[in-house]
Amino acid sequence: MAGAHELHELEKKLTKTDVGHKLVVPGGWLNEMPPFEGSSLEVQFGVLDDKGFHFLLCCSIRNGGYQKPVLQAEGWLKFVKYKGLKVGDKIIFRPQVDHFRETIFQVRAQRQNIDGHWVDI
């Protein structure tokens, strides 16, 4: 990852599948994720939320053709439950490498308030 390219902020509005099963990741996000080693179809990485809580996530892809990346249920659903996420909420992954905690993203969750502004939850 170091020096390969500049990492970008990733954001996604959550769907029913995202909050109930696994986070379906846009294919372009694979360029921002840690590299898959060898023939592995999954890679684990850590994220920190705005309060400093650590979550271990696992991104997996399908073999062949369209890779259809997802963040697997185990770590992702812990984050969903912790934040009380709902359909229509938004998550933002901001690149923030912390070698001590072995994380590569800060993750934020947002919800629209009554005025239509996105606020952290």
Beta bridge partners of 106: 48, 94
Can you list the alpha helix ranges (DSSP code H) found in 7-118?
16-20, 73-83
Could you state, in order of their start, the residue ranges of all structural domains in the chain?
Answer: 10-120
> How far is the CA of 89 from the CAs of 37, 97, 104, in angstroms?
32, 25, 22
CA distance 121 to 85: 9
Cβ-based neighbour number of residue 61 at 10 Å: 19
Contact by Cβ (8 Å): 107, 55: yes
pLDDT at position 3: 44
Backbone angles phi, psi at 24, to 5 degrees: -80, 120
Structure tokens at 49: 């939320």
pLDDT at position 33: 84
Give 67-88 pLDDT, tens digit per residue: 889 999 999 999 999 999 999 9
Band (90; pLDDT cuts 50, 70, 90):
very high
Give 12-25 pLDDT, tens digit per residue: 999 999 999 999 99
What is the CATH class of 10-120?
Answer: mainly beta
pLDDT at position 2: 45
Residue 1 scores a pLDDT above 50: no
pLDDT at position 5: 52
CA distance 82 to 87: 15
Residue 96 scores a pLDDT above 90: no
What global pTM score does this model have? 0.86
Give 26-68 pLDDT, tens digit per residue: 888 888 888 888 889 999 999 999 888 999 999 999 887 778 8
